[in-house]
Structure 1
Amino acid sequence: MNEERVGWARRIAAAEPGKVLPRRWAHSRGVADRAAEIGLILGKDADLLISAALLHDVGYAPRLATTGFHPLDGARFLRDAHGAGERLTRLVPNHSFALLEAEERGLREELAREFPLLDDPLLVDALVYCDMTTTPDGGRTMARERVAEIVGRYGADSVVGRFIRRAAPEIFSSIERIEAAVAAQPRWGYVPAR
């Protein structure tokens, strides 16, 4: 694993939302913890997942919020201020089916043009899994409870409420695929008999 990339991501996330949005920072650290737990299924991309987990909500930092759409604001910041790599800057703004929220906000074309969805379904699903199984405070939760919490927090008729309800079937499918991939991995050197 590339510890340098993960350390870089941790420093940026701690300096941006970490200083002014402690609850958001707690969530991001929890998402990164989930990423570290499932990293085995990604092999050499485990550090990319952990870095994206740490940075997925960086765009909530007030000084970065230019459009008010955190995935786009965060990706632009990572690209423009830090020269972050293309895979990271395409993964972060597309976390948890953000393209659907971008559509609700009239930003779909802009997001898709600047940061097209990464063509790596396992990596995309893994970030959805990590985000949608982590509470706002960084604890563990089930995806259905997380979706319900988001709807409750923002309201069913809000932009976020509408988006998350539309995205829910895709979120649940991503969770199932990652759970199956994790279950298929041998642990601690144990290979089940066939």
Structure 2
Amino acid sequence: MSGGTSSLVAEASRLAQGLVAPLGRRWLHVQAVAERTAELRRAVDEAEGERLVAAAWLHDIGYSPDIGHTRFHPLDGARHLRDTGWPGVIVDLVAHHSGARYEAEERGLTAELSEFPLPDGPVLDALVMADLTTGPSGERVTYDQRISEILDRYPPGDPVHQAWLFARPVMAECVRRTESRLAAAQPR
């Protein structure tokens, strides 16, 4: 990756478009998640806002068959970003977005995901909220609607379905914390 902080979001958008736009509906989701994070920037420190939006653009690049080697998109996306010189915080956010650690456990990829530190905090919380309040075609949904959609889409024996049985309450807390931060950031 080249360029400074001011170009971070633009470079993320370009990379995501190149890797995800060919995937159709997934591209609609990614664009809407990035748009949603622009609204959620008030929930994070001003200095972290660009990283949040950049991570939103990049969170699903691992679905691209060009880089999807393990077929576990958070890991594939993070490895690609790390190997091409993206900032560590962006790489870690992509690796751990939206409960990836639970799915990694179901897939037997916990050791591989542990290559990336868990960036627990307001930025990850806001990324989770953006991703999990955006439907698969980019429509705005509630957290509960999104999780129900995921559980309906994947059969009970699928690792994704199993992961969400454990991740659901934990990721709900990410959403709740982000909502609280947004409420605290409202002008009085």
TM-score range, shorter chain: over 0.9
TM-score w.r.t. the length of structure 2 is 0.94
The residue aligned with 1:96 is 98
1:34 counterpart = 2:47: no
Correspondence for 1:65 among 42, 49, 68? 68
- Deviation string for 1:35-91 (max 9, x for gaps)? 0001022211111000100100000001111111000000111111x2101111111
Gaps of 5+ in 1: none
For the Cα contact (< 8 Å) 1:49–1:127, is it kept in 2?
yes
TM-score w.r.t. the length of structure 1 is 0.91
Structure 1 ranges of 4+ moved more than 2 A: none
The residue aligned with 1:8 is 11
Provide the C-alpha distance between the structure 1 equivalents of 2:95 and 2:103, rounded to a whole number of angstroms. 11
Provide the C-alpha distance between the structure 2 equivalents of 1:160 and 1:105, rounded to a whole number of angstroms. 9
For the Cα contact (< 8 Å) 2:28–2:136, is it kept in 1?
yes
Task: Calculate percent identity across the aligned residue pairs.
Answer: 42
For the Cα contact (< 8 Å) 1:147–1:165, is it kept in 2?
no
Larger-gyration structure (1/2): 1
For the Cα contact (< 8 Å) 1:59–1:70, is it kept in 2?
yes
The residue aligned with 2:118 is 117
Provide the C-alpha distance between the structure 2 equivalents of 1:173 and 1:40, rounded to a whole number of angstroms. 18
Instruction: Report the residue type matching 1:77 in the other structure.
Output: H
Count of aligned pairs between the two proteins: 183
- Deviation string for 1:91-120 (max 9, x for gaps)? 1010011011000000001111x11101x4
TM-fit CA distance, 1:3? 4.1
Specify which structure has the bigger relative contact order, considering alpha-carbon pairs within 8 angstroms and separated by 6 or more residues.
Answer: 2
Gaps of 5+ in 2: none
Provide the C-alpha distance between the structure 2 equivalents of 1:74 and 1:147, rounded to a whole number of angstroms. 22
